[in-house]
Every structure is written in structure tokens, then in C-alpha cells.
Amino acid sequence: MKLTLATAVLAAAVAEAHYTFPSVDSSADWQYVRTTTNYQSNGPVTDVTSDQIRCYERDPGTGAPETYAVTAGKVLNYNAKASVSHPGPMAFYIAKVPEGETAATWDGSGQVWSKIYQEMPQFGASMTWSSDGAKSIPVTIPSCLSDGEYLLRVEHIALHSAGSAGGAQFYLSCAQLSVSGGSGTWSPKSKVAFPGAYSATDPGILINIYYPVPTSYTPPGPAVESC
């Protein structure tokens, strides 16, 4: 009985230290965000070669119930539940839904993702990240997007155990957006696929952030695109 109780307490503590990204702005959980595999366990993706690294979908092909209408150039808040509780960088990627598909049906496969935000650390006695402890992370939807439906992918890489390959923890999800009001001049220089964008040995994924404390950081994936 004691062993069972101790195991349950440990499992609860581990789950509480992890997190999901289930909503945008003031919406309900999983209303506009595709339900992730970790919606109950809160556990991370650790295999960057897995299809789960794309949107971490519990039921691929199902989609979220609704698609969120947003104006290009506006700030959207992507919410963490309960909070971002590990050190590491936030990033956002966006991909336009192709003709003949909808944000609710498209799987987001192929070289279609462009990075629109990348968090960098502050350096000193330790590496620190402004997202640490955050419950909501703002991102600006590019003002030059063309009208249409998109997938917005949020990603937080927890680096507390990233000193060995496979130790980095990825917390992510994809929101379904309907964007309007943009200039339509969006022309990204680089598009990547998930999986495919990352390697387990990329310097921003395989890194000991504690000793010696790094004095620089190279995030994985492409450069941030702008209008």
C-alpha cells in the first residue's frame, strides 16, 4: 500500500511539472486547438523523428471543433496549462492550409512551416528564459499573410534534461486559424517539415544548460521570418 501511495504521489508530481497548450486568447480548452496526446498525462514528445513532433495529435485527422478568426497583425495569446514550468525556448510556426483543405482537416505534412517567433535566453550565472512560469505567451500574427486558413504551432523545448540525446522535452500543439486583413505579401525564405526540421543532436536540443553554463545558444530550425 505504501509503495502504491508513493508511486501515485510521484506520478502526480511529475504530471504537475509538465504542461499542455490547449487554448488561445479566452477560448475554452481544445475549442480551437487540436487535442494533444498528452491532454491528460501532460507528458512531452522526446523523439524529433516522430510524427507527434508536428502537432502532437491524439486523434490525427480529427481536428479541433472550431477554427479561430484572427486579424493579421494582431497579437494572439497562446495559453499554457498550468504554466511553462521548465527552462527552455518558446517558438511559433505557421503554415497555410492548401487549396481543397480546411484547417480542421489538413494534417500539416510537408515543407510548409515557417517560424514566426523564437525566444532567446539571457546569459549570466545561469541561462534564463522570459517564458519560465508563463501561463500565456503572446505572438503577433504576421500582417502580410494572405487571407485564408492556417495552422499555428506553438512549441516549448524544455532543456533541463537535454544533456543527452533524447533528453530534451517538447511541449506543443496546433491551433486552427482563419486569418483575414493581411496584405498578402508573405513570402518566407525558408519552410520546414515536421518531422524533418530537427535532429536530436542539434546544438539547441542536445545541450547541458547547467555546467559549464553556456554563453550562447543556437535554436533549432530555420530563422524567424518577417514581413
Task: Please determine, for residue 3, whether its predicted confidence score (pLDDT) is greater than 70.
Answer: no
Question: Count of residues for the chain?
Answer: 227
Q: What is the pLDDT of residues 108-126, one digit of tens each?
A: 999 999 999 999 999 999 9
What is the model's pLDDT at position 225?
97
Residues 135-141, mean pLDDT to the nearest whole number: 98
Side-chain-side CA neighbours of residue 36 (13 Å): 31
Q: What is the pLDDT of residues 33-53, one digit of tens each?
A: 999 999 999 999 999 999 999
Which three cell numbers, joined as nine digits, stand for 178? 482563419
Q: Distance (Å, rounded) from C-alpha 164 to C-alpha 152? A: 29
Q: How far is CA 122 from the centre of its chain?
A: 20
Q: Based on the number of CB atoms within 10 Å of its own CB, is 18 exposed (0-12), middle (13-18) or buried (19 or more)?
A: middle
Q: Distance (Å, rounded) from C-alpha 48 to C-alpha 109? A: 14
Q: What is the pLDDT of residues 170-183, one digit of tens each?
A: 999 999 999 999 99
Asked if CATH classification 2.70.50.70 holds for the domain at 19-180, the reply, yes or no, is yes
Closest CA to 149 of 173, 172, 175: 175
What type of residue sits at position 129? W
Task: Please determine, for residue 128, whether its predicted confidence score (pLDDT) is greater than 70.
Answer: yes
